Structure 1
Amino acid sequence: MLIHPWDAARDEEEWQTWLRTRDFGQLAANGVNGGPPILVPTHFLFDGDKEVVLHLARPNPIWAAIEACPAVVVSVHDDYAYIPTGWRADSPETGVPTSYYASVQLTCAAEIVDDKEGKMEILRRQLAHHQPDGDHGEMRSDAGPYHRMVSALRGLRLEVVEVRAKFKFDDHRPVEQRERIAAELAARDLPHDAGARAQQLRRLVTG
């Protein structure tokens, strides 16, 4: 993705803080034999630094792609909103529309996990994250309610080797204009407007 200097994350802490509160995105792998990329929507667990773990069903077509090339991308976007023409100019006739959004793309080296205990360890970590107050049952690879199901899935450990982070909220525009757009987002109040406004105002205050 194109990242202008004014849209870039200001430091590692900014994108890491944003990503720690999100756990669903797209896993992308190169297509096999020149085929198109394979994209899988999935929950994942980011450790806050250098590792992502997840699991997928064994029949998933992405496994062949990862086995052919272990370089993958985890892509996450959120806090997006359409900004109409008139919000960025004195009239709709002279304004140019845009999109506000935050996006983090993690380029990773993938390691497939097929041993039962390794897969169970990933499941334990994911359940502890997604169901922190839930009853997970006995999470063992050799007994309990889950051990017979483990063969139906494969695990993934992804080592983060490159990060591309973008916070596109008109940081290069005058403060007065950005404050006006924030007010417009609050008034329109579509499902994602509050998140986009919060990110825009955070960048405005910390800029």
Structure 2
Amino acid sequence: MLIHPWDAARDEHEWRDWLRTRDFGQLAANGVNGGPPVVVPTHFLFDGDRILLHLARPNPIWAAVEAAPRVVVSVYDDYAYIPSGWRSDVPENGVPTSYYASVQLTCEAHVVDDKEGKAEILRRQLAHHEPEGGYGEVAADAGPYHRNLSAIRGLRLDVVGVRAKFKYDDRRPVEFRERISAGLAERDLPGDASARTQQRRRMHFS
């Protein structure tokens, strides 16, 4: 991912605050024996230092992780297409672009196969995704889930590197960005409101 200086996260707090409200992304691992990368869309839990998740035992990601445990979790959101006419006073001279936020976490993967370890990951994920409760006991040898633990494997992903990008025309003058903001508000396609929110938040840094 190319990150120009003006698109980079302002500091660690910015990308952490953004990621704190997101828990779905893509887990990518190198392919085995020269094969293409294996990419798995998945929910996850980021606790600030590591990512926890579980996947079905037949998932093809396992062979890839065991062959090369350095993986990437990619999360993106708040995206919108910005038409060429919005970016120039002379519409036919404008260059279109994409607005988006993206955080890519490089991680060292540790496979979790013991029952208690998998139960702990499932406990924490359920508590995160279903904070209202009501999902029953999560234990290695009791409750409604323990018989299904053999069908999954867990992953603990220790974060060893972060690349964060917030691409919202930050190098452009405020008047230019105000015009784009107005265009997003008027068009109001799915994604426009969240992209506009991020764009205006970044505008306050200028």
What's the TM-score once normalised by structure 2's chain length? 0.99
Q: Deviations along 1:16-40, whole A, 9 cap, x unmatched? A: 0000000000000000000000000
After TM superposition, which residue ranges in structure 1, 4 or more long, deviate above 3 angstroms? Answer: none
Name the structure 2 match of 1:124.
123
Provide the C-alpha distance between the structure 1 equivalents of 2:55 and 2:30, rounded to a whole number of angstroms: 17
Name the structure 2 match of 1:40.
40
Q: Residue 170 in 1 paired to residue 160 in 2?
A: no
Provide the C-alpha distance between the structure 2 equivalents of 1:11 and 1:183, rounded to a whole number of angstroms: 27
Deviation at 1:136, TM superposition (A): 1.7
Provide the C-alpha distance between the structure 1 equivalents of 2:71 and 2:126, rounded to a whole number of angstroms: 24
Amino acid paired to 1:5: P
Mapping for residues 192-203 of structure 1, pairs under 5 Å? 192-203=191-202
User: Structure 2: where are the runs of 5+ without partners?
Assistant: none
Provide the C-alpha distance between the structure 1 equivalents of 2:130 and 2:7, rounded to a whole number of angstroms: 34
Q: Deviations along 1:39-66, whole A, 9 cap, x unmatched? A: 000000001x211000000000000000
What's the TM-score once normalised by structure 1's chain length? 0.98
Check conservation: 1:85, 1:91, Cα contact below 8 A. Answer: no
Provide the C-alpha distance between the structure 1 equivalents of 2:72 and 2:12, rounded to a whole number of angstroms: 18
The 3-state SS of whatever aligns with 2:80 is strand
Provide the C-alpha distance between the structure 2 equivalents of 1:169 and 1:140, rounded to a whole number of angstroms: 45
Name the structure 1 match of 2:182.
183
Mapping for residues 1-207 of structure 1, pairs under 5 Å? 1-47=1-47, 49-207=48-206
The 3-state SS of whatever aligns with 1:206 is coil
Check conservation: 1:25, 1:42, Cα contact below 8 A. Answer: yes
Amino acid paired to 2:28: A
Deviation at 1:113, TM superposition (A): 0.2
